[in-house]
Structure 1
């Protein structure tokens, strides 16, 4: 019996020394904000109106639009001639006799004035009355893929070809949706949009020129304040890919009934007590000390120390876990001693009862 007491005393001293030599970097109650686990974001809570691109006037001409051009000179004996002409990909309108005139990005009334001016400057007419009527707006074919409820290719009106319209047409985000969208435009789109912006700048000097749009990029839909509004615009042939949430895990080990890798919920947070519960609960009821090993973005590690008793009272100790956290319910002198006593009791009881 004396040897058992001596063994237990030595164990307590040993654990006390170990506790002094290894101190956690942080306490859960005073964890710096930059080390806190991010909240799980539900894509369906994204403000859809924030995905709308810049408002485009309904009568602004774009490549592919078909317009009816009428030029009256005042000397006609019959109805003034009119032509249905489509705005070319280079933004020009090729009017009979007058030739090509760059009108993309202009409003109808301004394009009328420009056509009249050019027809006089080129010596075709003396004082023409030019009118333009929109015959058919070009529609953009936009493909929406990934974590949306109805992925497919949609036809969007040019004036409303933006991320909000595309995702609305696809009936919104699916339950699996992440908040990251990848946009891919046809090659050379950025250059064409830049040229169109320069054309508008000549016609409308007070209009701001948007920043260049890359042909491929991705954006976090929860941080749209960092995204230029021009990046929300889509063109013919654009592809929108809404990524799915990756599976996230935490590892739970130590004084739990089943050390395991625990799958985190896709649509919510996992906290310390949730992880321990999913690992089958504590294998030792008096266990209290927990260490959470968490990786920083630079792959260095920090250790966060928490108390199960404090966590059960609520508050900071029941901290939110981050993907790939290692949760270790630690052995302490008390739990070690209690476990040893139980072992000796079982051993003694088994020795006393034959066959056990």
Structure 2
């Protein structure tokens, strides 16, 4: 189920970026209406330890120096300039096809995907020499358009969208800086959804940006091809599960559970009448589940059952007869965006 939700999240987040627009942590505190421990994994070293106002983030964010573009490996859809010294008629600008090949004069198709530009240059030189076309060819390959490897940055950033990855990986703060930094209403945190999850790393990975900036450890989290970076907004709550409009909503002073469900279009016919769960983020960054909330009582105006929501609360309306198996960032996102898409991963 976690893998399925992660896949849904990646598609939804990227779709949002093209429309212009958690890591779970252990639970120590519970609240009645039959609280139970929230399952999850330990937070990463940079996970949020305390709420920090958005003013705690410098603007612009200090971007870490990117890695050398020399380690970039070519991928389908990249456009490359192939220059043959002293042979202008052999110089070409070509795009790598879906099979990873380019077509050049005399030597025909050459497989270059997965190679660095230096390796591709050497391979073309060898083909020209072995074919007897040139005695001592000197070839330079450079990337003119990076289209093969991309990542997405969405949420409370100034320019959400997909961006080319010009190296094998890039620091998280550099990725956010590419999106022109965070907005004033941004949470001081980011969620990284891996296209290819790392062993032993929570998915999604929650990172405290303030801690990262203060520590100077800007290379501790690296963004790779196909990754999605999500920066949440302050004063936001989420509704997921059996409601008509799953997604993120703006928290108001008087937002209660019943108003949240109403704003989400109401519960569907499949909703369980006594299976509402509110997942709340504590000041320490830990999660607690508030469970056993009766949907009928809430919607009928029972003030005891109708909780007042807090920022970053996740309301989960479970289907009848089903067990609550997932919640949080991974779960709510699947309803925020309905257009399927993907970031190229090679």
Which range, TM-score by smaller chain?
0.3 to 0.5
Structure of higher RCO (CA pairs closer than 8 Å, 6+ residues apart): 2
Structure with max Cα Rg: 1
Q: Output the TM-score relative to the length of structure 1.
A: 0.38
| Higher helix residue share | 1
